[in-house]
Amino acid sequence: MIEAAVPCHKSRALFRIPDENYLGSFTPSCEPAAADPEAEVRRALADPIGGERLRRLAEKARNCVIICSDHTRPVPSRCLIPAMLEELRRGNPAIKITLLIATGCHRGTTRDELIAKFGRRIVETERIVIHDCLDDSMLRDAGVLPSGGRLILNRLALETDLLISEGFIEPHFFAGFSGGRKSVLPGIASRETVLANHCAEFIASPRARTGILTDNPIHRDMLFAARRAKLAFIVNTVIDAEKRIVRAFAGDPEQAHAAGVEFCRKQAHIEVPPSDIVITSNGGYPLDMNVYQSVKGMTAAEAVCRRGGVIIMAAGCSDGHGGESFFRALSQAGSPDEILAEVLARPRNATVPDQWQYQILARILREFKVIMYAPECPQEMLKAMKLDAAATPDEALKKAFARCGRDAKVAVIPEGVSVIPVKKPPKR
């Protein structure tokens, strides 16, 4: 019996798989974490890619906005932000700095979550503003996206002398990769702008997939938004399964991000044999705090699971479903096909909140059975959303084998959000 552990909430879920059914556990070929993460960030800041040092940029600015990730992202902000603040103030001790929390369309980050993210000293001494995509007083029109949607962004970002951001780079299930330009759109955009960018047409594009940037219509809009906002400098990291910094990339938003993407791509590519059952996760807390976010990990399993097979998703889901419209769309529809038909009939300018997420989940549910092991989430909620629910990992596997047969082959992808999985070609 093989015991396969996958991250779940703040611990791990243990799945016991018969030897004869087990295909393997497939993980990124990650380089070792930096022995001194602070030194790695300082190294990146001292040798920026494609531009001036941040301290030089600060010399020319009266004020600066740092776009920071929110509570749903495992960005190592405790390490990044102090180094960025120090670098800015080395260049200009008088510079006025605002930390702008990029919530996108998520709920606002709480004070306790800010302390957990940045540490108490920064929360108590720095100016922090939490973006609200619905607060018109915070927003300003910045033109038209390539897709035709209005580009409306947080006015603090548009009116500052120097706009920079922190973040991390990992495969993203429809933007290709996270990081870089994504801190602007969706990070500090209005809901109207996010909806236009996440329209059904773009989500359905075969180019809007994990690991793809070329000709990706969603990425194209995001890149335009970052340029229009005059994002001048980024500090992004690639992290390992324990959320530790492996490598830091700083400098020009496009060149530094491209370097980080290539580093990430080489590590994240995995080949997985075609599988009847795929067990995966979102890498644990905080990215598995709700069902909404958990869809991301499911797409890794979707890429390699045989049609009609079973995806077992381990996720804490301590925050429940993650979006009322997301929940309603799934619970009130008759079938995944009904959801997809309705969504694909909507034009770009008629996108509704959370549509992209339930569009992708419906795409998955149309082809696979999804069993959720979500110990922090009400089981009836999961069932209402057309997801099967299991109280234990053993129960999840029992249900999967009941559907796929006793000879079903099982692959484990412990970090579904950290990989670019492809089906391993059969031996000739």
Q: Decide if 16 contacts 403 (C-beta within 8 A).
A: no
Burial class of 282 by CB neighbour count within 10 A (0 to 12, 13 to 18, 19+) = buried
Q: How far is CA 355 from CA 103, 176, 187, 289, 329, in A?
A: 17, 18, 17, 19, 8
Confirm if 217 and 208 have CB atoms less than 8 A apart.
Answer: yes
Decide: 49 and 255 in contact? Cβ < 8 Å.
Answer: yes
Is 219 marked active-site? no
Q: Please give the Cα distance from 163 to 85 (Å, whole number).
A: 13
In the block, tokens 């029992």 appear at: 398
Catalytic position from the list 9, 71, 106, 257: 106
Please pick, among 9, 71, 131, 172, the residue that the annotation labels catalytic.
172
Burial 130-148 (b: 16+ CB within 10 A, else e): bbbbeeeebbbebeebebe
185 close to 143: Cβ distance less than 8 angstroms: no
Query: Which residues in 189-223 are b (16+ Cβ under 10 Å) and which e?
Result: bbbbbbbbbbbbebbbbebbbbbbbeebbbbbbbb
A 10 A CB-CB count for 95 gives 18
CA 333, 337, 338, 341 torsion-angle sign: positive
What is the DSSP secondary structure assignment for residue 345, as one 8-state letter?
T
Pairing of strands 127-130, 275-281: unpaired
Catalytic residues, by residue number, are: 106, 172
